[in-house]
């Protein structure tokens, strides 16, 4: 049923932008499934969708929006799995939530007004670690902190055909050296990426005069993140601290691998969050139509989510 429901959501649109008609349609579909599971459906001021039973202090869910090149599992799996877990626990006072606009904020979970005692999120790994370990599930211990900004390199515009190589002040050459420096500085416990480059005047026959590069640095260790930011010496635009995750899944899966999430999730913004990863296949590709987790791994994950919810509401 879970795989079939994921296909129904994907059939609405591959790209379901936050607060779009496509995301609305996905929420409407999920609301129907929540009612079938015996949950009372409501929507808050941020547009977050809830399916509640009783007076819940334990919640589970994720998001239904997607990036333009999105696949079937990112976000949607967490919502569909939570609905299935709620259906398996017909007497349990709990809530299922589908947050709005996770991919662009996250906007819905940041504006959450009602705060639960515990929030459980099931998500595909979006990476190759569990597959390389031969493990179907992984317990997330923390979500990495992020630091983002830019670095500007100034040179001089010159004619590409008439300026001798030893007389050039090429801003792009400076930037290229920095890109390699970023890769070299990221080490154990950190990652860093230059993902955007703006070249001026951006003409094939002109030596670049100015180049602006983005910098994205991440770590689950705040001290390592700060040290990396200092070493890279870029203009910092914003920084977030690492967020430790709870042990709701660890209690159910004591032998499962422990992982750090390099990607952000709604769980960063909800008190009492615990996060479980499901093995990603196809090399761990995500934000892509080829993103994949097996039905067998998903079944194990839903079992773990159900058991963790049952333990918390008992």
Residue ending a domain, among 240, 275, 292, is 240
Amino acid 73: pLDDT: 98
Do 162 and 132 lie in one domain? The reply is: no
Final residue belonging to a domain, choices 184, 207, 240: 240
Residue 218, SS3 per DSSP = strand
Residues 34 and 127 in one domain: yes
The pairing of beta strand 210-219 with beta strand 145-154: antiparallel
What Cα–Cα distance (Å) separates residue 303 from each residue in 30, 258, 299? 20, 18, 6
Same domain, 134 and 154: no
> Is the domain of 247 the same as that of 106?
yes
Domain that holds residue 235: 145-240
Nearby residues of 293 by Cβ (< 8 Å), 6 or more positions away: 73, 77, 124, 278, 279, 280, 281
Q: Assign 97 to helix, strand or coil.
A: strand
pLDDT band at 201 (very low <50, low <70, confident <90, very high): very high
Q: Where are the alpha helices (DSSP H) in the chain?
A: 2-12, 21-36, 76-88, 107-110, 129-133, 171-185, 222-232, 248-252, 295-313
Q: Where does a domain end: 206, 240, 274?
A: 240
Mean pLDDT of 204-210: 98
Q: What per-residue confidence (pLDDT) applies to 114? A: 84
Q: What are phi and psi of 95, to 5 degrees?
A: -135, 145
Q: Do 282 and 166 sit in the same domain of this protein? A: no
Contacts of 105 (CB under 8 A, 6+ apart): 18
Q: Do residues 265 and 160 both lie within one domain?
A: no
Task: Read off the pLDDT band of 194 (50, 70, 90).
Answer: very high
**98 and 159 part of one domain:** no
Query: Where do we find the tokens 């479980």?
Result: 276
The phi and psi torsions of 308 (rounded to 5 degrees) equal -65, -40
11 & 138 share domain: yes
Give the model confidence (pLDDT) of 82-137 as tens digits: 999 999 999 999 999 999 999 998 899 999 888 899 999 999 999 999 999 999 99
Q: Are residue 184 and residue 86 in the same domain, yes or no? A: no
In this predicted structure, the answer to whether residue 25 has a pLDDT above a threshold of 90 is yes
Taking only the tens place, the pLDDT of each residue in 246-262 is 999 999 999 999 999 99
* Mean pLDDT score of the chain: 97
pTM value is 0.92
Residue 179 has pLDDT above 90, yes or no: yes
Each residue's pLDDT tens digit, 214-233: 999 999 999 999 999 999 99
User: How many domains would you assign to the chain?
Assistant: 2
Handedness of CA 261, 238, 156, 182 (dihedral sign): negative
Q: What is the CATH number of the domain that holds 152?
A: 3.30.70.360
| Triad 4, 9, 14: Cα angle to 5° | 120
Q: Is the pLDDT of residue 188 over 90?
A: no
Is there a single domain that holds both residue 246 and residue 226?
A: no
């Amino acid at each position: 049923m879970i795989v079939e429901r994921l296909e129904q959501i994907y059939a609405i649109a591959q790209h379901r932008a936050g607060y779009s008609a496509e995301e609305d349609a996905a929420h409407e579909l999920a609301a129907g499934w929540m009612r079938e599971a015996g949950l009372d459906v409501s929507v808050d001021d941020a547009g977050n969708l809830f399916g509640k039973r009783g007076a819940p202090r334990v919640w589970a869910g994720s998001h239904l929006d997607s990036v333009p090149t999105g696949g079937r599992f990112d976000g949607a799996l967490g919502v569909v799995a939570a609905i299935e877990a709620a259906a398996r626990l017909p007497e349990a006072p709990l809530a299922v939530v589908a947050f709005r606009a996770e991919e662009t904020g996250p906007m819905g979970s940041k504006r959450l007004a009602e705060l639960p005692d515990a929030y459980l999120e099931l998500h595909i790994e979006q990476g190759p670690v569990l597959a390389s370990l031969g493990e179907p599930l992984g317990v997330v211990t923390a979500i990495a902190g992020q630091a983002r900004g830019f670095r500007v390199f100034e040179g001089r515009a010159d004619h590409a055909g008439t300026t001798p190589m030893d007389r050039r002040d090429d801003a792009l050459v400076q930037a290229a050296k920095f890109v390699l420096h970023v890769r070299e500085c990221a080490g154990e416990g950190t990652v860093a990426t230059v993902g955007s480059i703006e070249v001026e005047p951006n003409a094939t026959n002109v030596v670049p005069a100015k180049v602006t590069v983005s910098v994205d640095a991440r770590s689950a260790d705040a001290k390592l993140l700060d040290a990396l930011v200092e070493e890279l010496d870029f203009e910092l635009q914003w920084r977030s601290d690492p967020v430790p995750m709870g042990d709701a899944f660890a209690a159910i899966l004591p032998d499962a691998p422990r992982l750090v999430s390099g990607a952000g999730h709604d769980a960063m913004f909800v008190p009492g969050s615990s996060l479980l990863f499901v093995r990603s296949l196809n090399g761990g590709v995500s934000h892509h139509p080829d993103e994949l987790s097996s039905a067998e791994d998903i079944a194990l994950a839903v079992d773990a989510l159900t058991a963790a919810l049952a333990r918390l509401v008992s």
